[in-house]
Amino acid sequence: GNSVTQMEGPVTLSEEAFLTINCTYTATGYPSLFWYVQYPGEGLQLLLKATKADDKGSNKGFEATYRKETTSFHLEKGSVQVSDSAVYFCALSPSNDYKLSFGAGTTVTVRA
Amino acid sequence: DTEVTQTPKHLVMGMTNKKSLKCEQHMGHRAMYWYKQKAKKPPELMFVYSYEKLSINESVPSRFSPECPNSSLLNLHLHALQPEDSALYLCASSRLLSSGHPSYEQYFGPGTRLTVT
């Protein structure tokens, strides 16, 4: 079946630190990969996506590259801000299905 | 307009009450979804509507009853809920592809935080 594994949180960082959240997946075929962000008290927002191998998704200073050889889609940001404090979900949609499979979520707290 | 709106933002209801959650989108999307999210967990898919018809019911108890009155609106009718149904209920929408399948790119609303007492 399809599944997503992301690093356990919580992650606590200082402002301007480098952030990496690891995400690996299991899927047949060529899934599309996503990072969603959920700020406190809000719904999910699509942060970035990649639909094929070697694609790089980027948005708001965040980046993730679709690595088929390592079945990974790690999220990175070079310099985090307090406003980046949120829960981050890695997700996939299989090539033959639109259902999203989510990882467990990683809570990130950025301290000033 | 890339927004999905949901009302109410918060809802407290007793186990004998009947209430409804509402969702609206004006992006022209023809697929709409209901998800349930418990605290510190990822969302769980409940229902999917395509072209205003129910296409997926993920074995959700009958005390949850979805309705899609038109292409912009999605309701979730609640009756005789249990305390364990307390959660954040998220609505989402997406395009339908030429194949008739929903696009993988879903847009989420802010959710309704439901408490069942």
* pLDDT band per the 50, 70, 90 thresholds, residue A22: very high
The average confidence (pLDDT) of chain A is 93
- Can you give the pLDDT at residue A107? 96
In the β-sheet with A19-21, what is the strand arrangement from edge to edge? A19-21, A75-77, A62-65, A56-59
- Report chain B (117 residues): mean pLDDT per 10 consecutive residues: 87 94 94 94 93 90 95 96 96 83 82 96
Nearest CA in chain A to B41: A104
Closest CA to A90 of A13, A18, A9: A9
- Can you give the pLDDT at residue B56? 85
Q: Answer left, alpha or beta for residue B28, where phi above 0 means left and psi between -120 and 50 means alpha.
A: left
Q: Could you tell me which residues of chain A have a Cβ less than 8 Å from any Cβ in chain B? A: 32, 34, 36, 42-46, 49, 87, 89, 91, 93, 97-100, 102-105, 107
- Can you give the pLDDT at residue A8? 81
For the cut 80, the answer to whether the pLDDT of residue A35 exceeds it is yes
- Which residue reads 């408490």 in tokens? B115
- Can you give the pLDDT at residue B2? 58
Q: Which residues sit opposite A110 in a β-bridge?
A: A13
List the structure tokens of A41: 């008290």
Nearest CA in chain A to B36: A43
Higher pLDDT, A63 or A43: A63
Calculate mean pLDDT across residues A24-50: 91
- Closest to B101 (Cβ–Cβ): which among A36, A44, A98? A98
Nearest CA in chain B to A33: B104
Tens digit of each residue's pLDDT (9 = 90 or more) over A75-112: 999 999 999 999 999 999 887 666 889 999 999 999 99
- Can you give the pLDDT at residue B1? 53
